Amino acid sequence: MRYDVLTLFPGIFAGFLGESLLDKAIQRELVQVHLHDFRKWAGNKHQSVDDRPYGGGQGMVLSAAPIVDCVEEIRGDSPVGRLILLTPQGRVWDQVAAEEMARQQDGRVVFICGRYEGFDQRVIDVLQPEEWSLGDYVLNGGEVAAMAIIESVIRLIPGVLGDSESSVDDSFSEGNRLLEGPQYTRPREYRGYRVPDVLLSGDHQAIARWRREKSLQRTQERRQDLLPKTDPPRSSGEEIGE
């Protein structure tokens, strides 16, 4: 998977790219991340990439030309892969979206990170990117959103997580889409809280059953929207075929 990220603040990515699983995935050539400071495409003496909004109002708007020129240069004449613009107005990123992106392993994704008041509409009109959001809140820039998306995807790419770690039972994941239940490690008792006996029983079927129950219970308590939809019970007077 190759990611190209357009950003005015490439330094934000330094720690992210140099630590933990992503660093290892990059070393093992499972993932590439290329950063592009689109200020280099400003094309003016002051390297300015933003301007005051037409019609008045607060803040500065990112100009179309530097971003469009940068995207066209890095994608070349025959663009492949996906072009994603980060915006709070986009579709909200989720586990299904991450799984879909992880399946396009040899693919290429270009992210455009906004700043200030966001983009001149012509960035979207000309480039026709997919628009994705991290959630219904406003960040200062798209960088954190790009990092979150990259991280949610690379952990699904075979070989990135170690043998001892796995994503299959994680909350929202393919298979059940529910919240994961509680987990425990040593010691058996901590400040009066004991590990449930079933987890110490060695009975794998009972453990799997307990985990499933806890997962359902937690989802019921916290995220009913994730539960499979069931038809409401029929009232006694209702006849089939009505």
List, by residue number, the catalytic residues: 88, 117, 155, 170
Please identify the residue of the shown chain whose CB is closest to the bound ligand SAM.
114
Q: Out of 64, 126, 139, 199, name the contact with ligand SAM by CB under 6 A.
A: 139
Instruction: Specify whether the CB–CB gap between 130 and 84 falls below 8 A.
Output: yes
The neighbour count for residue 13, using CB atoms within 10 Å, is 19
Shorter beta-carbon distance to ligand SAM: residue 135 or 182:
135
CA distance 222 to 2: 36
Judged by beta carbon, residue 112 or residue 178, the one nearer ligand SAM is 112
**Mask of contacts with ligand SAM, 88-117, x by CB under 6 A?**
xx-----------------------xxx-x
**Is residue 66 part of the contact set for ligand SAM (CB under 6 A)?**
no
Q: Pick one of 8, 67, 134, 150: the residue that binds ligand SAM (CB under 6 A).
A: 134
Residues lying near ligand SAM in the complex (CB under 6 A)? 86-89, 113-115, 117-119, 133-135, 137-142, 145
